[in-house]
């Protein structure tokens, strides 16, 4: 559906009735449902094929609405005031007055909250008037979607609608920071850089594993964001038949015989690279090459989030 007044009204009605609607945000497309309705939330897990131990982010229209869903300590308040609306998710203790259902929180005492900046997401959240649970709108374990077409590739026939808001400007998911009493922990690097978070806090956030990517059994590593092709990192040369993902001016040996080539950012800009990452992975995957070789990407700025996603794409499955 077009992201116009009519599309927004229909999307809000569908979500209000317990349906699943994919929506654009500044990071990636989310698969939205009423976060207060356990049946609607169960339908998200089913459509994605997502394990139910992995909790969802509740999206709200305003900082005020977020404050009603969780208990914010000083650090959480500071981060919320500075980065919302925007690509930051805060995990805080769930408020006793909160409305996000147990299933969306995977039974935890905490709740993940985000006020997105994307105009369409905000307009939809205002119309729904309730928190909207929205994981990335891809089949579980697959590459996250940054266009309405990506959403349909994975979920056509499993969801009621997708609101088409064009390409997502940030391109990687939100940074997830837990403020649960102790020092704030960066659970997932994302659209807000570690340096920007540290500048607002006045100190660096602690490292913290992302519980959603924790191995659940022997052999099940942190594989996520995975294309069908294998992914080989830090490639300085290409094997015959490989597709290649380039960054900056670096040219791997054997580039002339690559099966397919995509460039994240010719000028070496991490923000441009993040915005192009998931689309480029999907296109290289579509080339049919058995392996995608990725040249080194520096860790600076959004490079941390890019490398995190690439490492998960390369993890054994």
* 212 contact, one of ligand TXA, Mg ion, none, CB 5-8 Å limit per kind: ligand TXA
The residue (of 60 and 260) whose beta carbon lies closer to ligand TXA is 60
CA gap 89, 113 in Å, rounded: 5
Question: Rounded to the nearest whole angstrom, what is the least distance from the CB of residue 272 to ligand TXA in the complex?
Answer: 18
Of 73-81, 134-142, 234-242, 267-275, the window that binds Mg ion (rule: CB under 5 A) is 134-142
CA gap 186, 207 in Å, rounded: 5
Q: In this chain, which of 21, 33, 83, 89 binds ligand TXA, going by CB under 6 A? A: 89
Find how far residue 298's CA is from the centre of its chain: 20
Asked if residue 179 lies in contact with residue 76, where contact means CB atoms within 8 angstroms, the answer is yes
Asked if residue 58 lies in contact with residue 104, where contact means CB atoms within 8 angstroms, the answer is yes
The residue (of 172 and 293) whose beta carbon lies closer to ligand TXA is 172
Q: In this chain, which of 15, 20, 24, 55 binds ligand TXA, going by CB under 6 A? A: 55
The residue (of 142 and 246) whose beta carbon lies closer to Mg ion is 142
Question: Rounded to the nearest whole angstrom, what is the least distance from the CB of residue 261 to ligand TXA in the complex?
Answer: 28
Tell me if 298 contacts ligand TXA by CB under 6 A: no
Q: Is 114 annotated as a binding residue?
A: yes
Q: How many CA atoms lie within 13 A of 179 on its CB side?
A: 19
CA gap 258, 50 in Å, rounded: 34
**In this structure, what token pair is assigned to residue 187?**
């659970």
* 194 contact, one of ligand TXA, Mg ion, none, CB 5-8 Å limit per kind: none
Burial 82-112 (b: 16+ CB within 10 A, else e): ebbbbbbbbbbbbbeebbbbebbbbeeebbb
CA gap 8, 127 in Å, rounded: 8
Asked if residue 191 lies in contact with residue 305, where contact means CB atoms within 8 angstroms, the answer is yes
Q: Is 174 annotated as a binding residue?
A: yes
* 188 contact, one of Mg ion, ligand TXA, none, CB 5-8 Å limit per kind: ligand TXA
Tell me if 89 contacts Mg ion by CB under 5 A: no
CA gap 219, 227 in Å, rounded: 19
Asked if residue 247 lies in contact with residue 297, where contact means CB atoms within 8 angstroms, the answer is yes
Q: In this chain, which of 211, 252, 254, 268 binds ligand TXA, going by CB under 6 A? A: 211
Tell me if 25 contacts Mg ion by CB under 5 A: no
* 265 contact, one of Mg ion, ligand TXA, none, CB 5-8 Å limit per kind: none
Q: Is 59 annotated as a binding residue?
A: yes
CA gap 185, 92 in Å, rounded: 11
Q: In this chain, which of 136, 146, 147, 193 binds Mg ion, going by CB under 5 A? A: 136
Find how far residue 254's CA is from the centre of its chain: 33
Q: Which residues bind Mg ion (CB under 5 A)?
A: 136
Residue ranges at the known binding site: 27, 50, 54, 59, 114, 134, 136, 144, 174, 188, 225
User: What are the binding residues for ATP?
Assistant: 50, 54, 59, 136, 144, 188, 225
Q: Would you list which residues are annotated within the binding site for L-threonine?
A: 27, 114, 134, 174
């Amino acid at each position: 559906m077009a992201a116009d007044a009519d599309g927004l009204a229909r999307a809000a009605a569908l979500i209000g009735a317990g349906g699943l609607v994919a929506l654009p945000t500044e990071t990636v497309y989310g698969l939205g449902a009423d976060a207060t309705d356990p049946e609607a939330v169960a339908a998200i897990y089913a459509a994605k094929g997502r394990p139910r131990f992995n909790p969802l982010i509740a999206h709200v229209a305003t900082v005020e609405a977020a404050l009603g869903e969780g208990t914010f300590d000083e650090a959480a308040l500071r981060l919320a005031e500075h980065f919302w609306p925007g690509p930051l998710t805060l995990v805080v203790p769930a408020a006793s007055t909160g409305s996000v259902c147990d299933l969306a929180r995977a039974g935890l005492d905490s709740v993940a909250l985000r006020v997105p900046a994307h105009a369409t997401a905000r307009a939809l959240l205002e119309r729904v008037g309730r928190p909207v649970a929205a994981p990335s709108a891809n089949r579980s374990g697959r590459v996250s979607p940054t266009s309405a077409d990506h959403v349909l590739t994975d979920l056509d026939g499993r969801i009621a609608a997708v609101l088409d808001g064009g390409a997502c400007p940030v391109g990687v998911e939100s940074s997830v920071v837990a403020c649960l009493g102790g020092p704030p922990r960066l659970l997932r690097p994302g659209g807000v850089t570690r340096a920007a978070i540290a500048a607002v806090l006045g100190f660096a956030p602690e490292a913290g594993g992302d519980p959603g990517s924790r191995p659940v059994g022997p052999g099940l590593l942190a594989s996520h964001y995975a294309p069908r092709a294998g992914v080989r990192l830090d490639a300085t040369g290409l094997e015959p038949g490989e597709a290649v993902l380039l960054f900056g001016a670096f040219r791997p040996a054997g580039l002339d015989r690559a099966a397919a080539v995509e460039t994240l950012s010719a000028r070496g800009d991490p923000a441009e690279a993040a915005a192009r990452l998931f689309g480029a992975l999907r296109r290289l995957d579509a080339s049919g090459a058995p392996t995608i070789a990725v040249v080194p990407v520096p860790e600076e700025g959004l490079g941390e989030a890019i490398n995190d996603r690439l490492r998960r794409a390369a993890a054994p499955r």
